[in-house]
Structure 1
Amino acid sequence: MSLKESLKNFIKNQFIEVIEWTDPSVDTIVYRFPVANKEIKMGAMLTVRESQVAIFVNQGELADVFGPGLYELSTNNMPVMTKLNSWKYGFNSPFKAEVYFVNTKQFLDQKWGTKSPVPMMDPVFGQIEVRARGTYSFRVSDPVKFMREVFGTKESLKTSEITSQIRSYIIQYMKDTMAESKLSFFDLQGNLVEFSEKVKENLSAKLGNLGIEIINLTIEDFSMPEELMEAYREGAKYNLIGGFDRHVKKETLKALNTAAANEGGMAGLGATLGAGLFFGNMMKESFSHPSGTENVLCPHCRNVISANSKFCSNCGKPLGAETTSCVKCGAEIPKGSKFCMSCGAPQTTEKTCPECGAKISARAKFCSECGAVCMS
């Protein structure tokens, strides 16, 4: 190789003529192009692929931003760099700059969940602790804002470096949304889609300030501590068989049948019968008033009260849950519900006429002001 060719190759290796990023990974959000100590040749070719944005940084200051496309770098398409470096028209010398590629595609199937139980006030059970889990997807919606607020000066950024912070935000806003909704645990279970959308809506503004957009947020499950679920199952079991008094009678009869079948014959039966009568009287005295009226457990505080009571003598809460009709399908739902458990419709009491803008009943099919059809 001649001296002239060697010198030509040396000079060529000192300048960058092609700038591009082919991402082989699935979790890289930001990548810094390896400039090292080389200079970028004026007229170099910049390739920005779909779902990418290239950002030039001049001495630590964000400069020109390039969307998808093929560019031949010049003062015409680098106005910020030209201004910062006071380049004159037709400037054709190599220059120094850092080039960052930001991946704007969706990052799918990101997992989230509560590491420890989250406290909530349930209208039925009172103060309880629940766990939740699900998935979400996100993307960088504002690359410049993301570079300023999140990225910093690293060589690259992976999803694993920011997902823990996003998970914290999801749990924080989920707790706030639960408090606002005042839904019971089982209402939350029955309205997971609507509740997930509400959490996503409340979370969007926070992440938007970081240049991040939540595309999809899913709450797959709410769960209570096992001991609380066991207590609920026990209460439901007694309700299914007609109350606790009937349960006691059933267990006594079972004991009598067992004693009659065991060795000892009528003597064993007599002893068991006496014990059964004693136990039955004891339970009757414990769960009955002197007047002979039947007793039940308050569904709120589990205190023993008269079945005819309208309010609990211990906690003062009403015993009969007030209900109302869904504004859309007419199904009976608890009063104060924000969504229908049958059709999922929001429980707004009025709507706006699409023609004249008048406020009319949510169930109205025609506007009372202009007569327009209002079926939605």
Structure 2
Amino acid sequence: MGFFKNQFANVVEWEEFREDMIFWKWSNREIKKGSKLIIRPGQDAIFVNNGKIEGIFKDDGEYNIDSDIIPFLSTLKGFKFGFNSGMRVEVLFVNTKEFTVKWGTQNPVLIPTPQLPGGMPIRANGTFTFQVTDYVTLIDKIAGIRNSYLVEDVKIRITSVLDQLLMKWISREGKDMFNLQANASDIAKGIREDLDMEVLNNGISITGFQVMSFNYPKEIQDMITKTASHEMIGNLQKYQQVSMTDGIASGKVKGGGVAGDMAGMMMGMNLAGEMMKNMNQNQNQSSSGNSSANPGSPAQGSGQKPNFCPNCGAKNEGANFCPNCGQKLV
């Protein structure tokens, strides 16, 4: 007799659970007397009748529907099971966890920049997180016409507008187009706010958005790396001169005919000129330093014999002419 009484009883549970499934709908079946509801951790069960939420149950466990559930339903609390009648409602199971999704631009985003007339082609990648926050909107906009909803569905919608948002916020917050990572936090914050508005009408909230890296074309990345290494040297012109000199000395830089020889000669003349200029400056500084340090020492042309020859620097023992080069000393 007991078997006959409960032969139509069923179990209402999330039968097709997947980690990447946002919700799943138990529908088109009657709930008979003696049926049970099973809610697992991380799930909410929502009873829906004619598109209206009758009750939301969040505590995991096993419940008798006729005694534990029906008394709490808004308009069906007075429902009585008959001998051959059941309650036809939909039960929507919602995954309550926060989902993390990786994203990446499929094509380069052309960011307007004065340095490149066609725009700077930039790729980017990162992650975003989202969570269901509004069950009423979720049922009204999505669950009313679908039996399930996947993370991939949200990702497709997000990536469809992501290129435009990247262009918008990189142009606004990318103060240094060649070092966007320094402004990644501000760029990501702006994109998150816009994405949240994009999916809000689906009952979903974007809880986080991160830009892990910006990627430039190889030619531009090589230029950035080279410029950074030069800046680390401190003096770009000096670095180029030293690099060329080392290359010639080591034989790595070889002449290329007349043009190469002329370039080498001009570079040698420039380097020699710089060396003479530095030597003259050092001599002038030394002479002025000696004069200020020995204000009482005799100057040339005063009638007194200098201690050292001004021409060759040989020491003078009081002679009128330098014993080394013959320079007149008085």
Counterpart of 1:28 (choices 18, 21, 25) is 21
In the alignment, what sits opposite 2:105? 114
CA contact 2:141–2:202 (8 Å) conserved in 1: yes
How do residues 75-94 of structure 1 correspond to structure 2 at under 5 angstroms? 76-81=71-76, 89=78, 91-93=80-82, 94=86
Alignment of 1:248-287 (within 5 A): 250-251=243-244, 254-255=247-248, 258=251, 275-279=259-263
Map of 1:149-188 to 2, 5 A cutoff?
Answer: 149-188=141-180
Contact 1:51–1:104 (CA under 8 A) maintained in structure 2 = yes
Q: Which runs of 5+ in 2 are unaligned?
A: 268-330
TM-aligned CA distance change 1:192 to 1:249, over 3 Å: closer
Per-residue CA distance 1:14-57 (angstroms, 9 max, x = gap): 243x4333775322211223x654x2135754344453222233
For 2:239 and 2:43, how far apart are their aligned partners in 1? 70
- State the one-letter code of the partner of 2:72: N
Q: Is the 8 A contact 1:142 1:212 kept in 2?
A: yes
Output the CA distance in 2 between the equivalents of 1:117 and 1:245.
37
Contact 2:24–2:92 (8 Å) recurs in 1? yes
Considering only CA atoms, is the larger Rg found in Structure 1 or Structure 2? Answer: 2
Task: Report deviation, 1:112.
Answer: 0.4
Q: Contact 2:128/2:210 (CA < 8 Å) preserved in 1?
A: yes
Relative contact order (C-alpha < 8 Å, sep 6+): which is higher?
Answer: 2
CA distance in 1, matches of 2:261, 2:127: 57
Instruction: Report whether the alignment pairs 1:228 with 2:212.
Output: no
**Where does residue 182 of structure 2 map in the other structure?**
190
**In the alignment, structure 1 residue 96 sits paired with structure 2 residue 91:** no
Q: TM-score w.r.t. structure 1 length? A: 0.56
Distance 2:260 2:183 in 1: 46
2:4 is the alignment partner of 1:14: no
Q: Which residue matches 2:56?
A: 66
Q: Kindly report which structure 2 residues correspond to 1:22-61, keeping only aligned pairs within 5 A, or say none.
A: 25-33=18-26, 37=29, 39-41=30-32, 44-59=35-50, 61=51
TM-score (norm 2): 0.63
**Deviation for aligned residue 1:185:** 2.8
Does the 8 Å CA contact 1:31/1:156 hold for their aligned counterparts? yes
Q: Which structure has more helix as a fraction of its residues?
A: 2
Please tell me the root mean square deviation across aligned C-alpha atoms, in Å.
3.8
What SS class does the counterpart of residue 197 from structure 1 fall into? helix
Does the CA contact (< 8 Å) of 2:9 and 2:34 recur in 1?
no
Question: CA shift at 1:246, angstroms?
Answer: 6.6
Over the matched positions of the two proteins, sequence identity in percent amounts to: 26
137 and 172 in structure 1: CA distance in 2 versus 1, 3 angstrom threshold: same
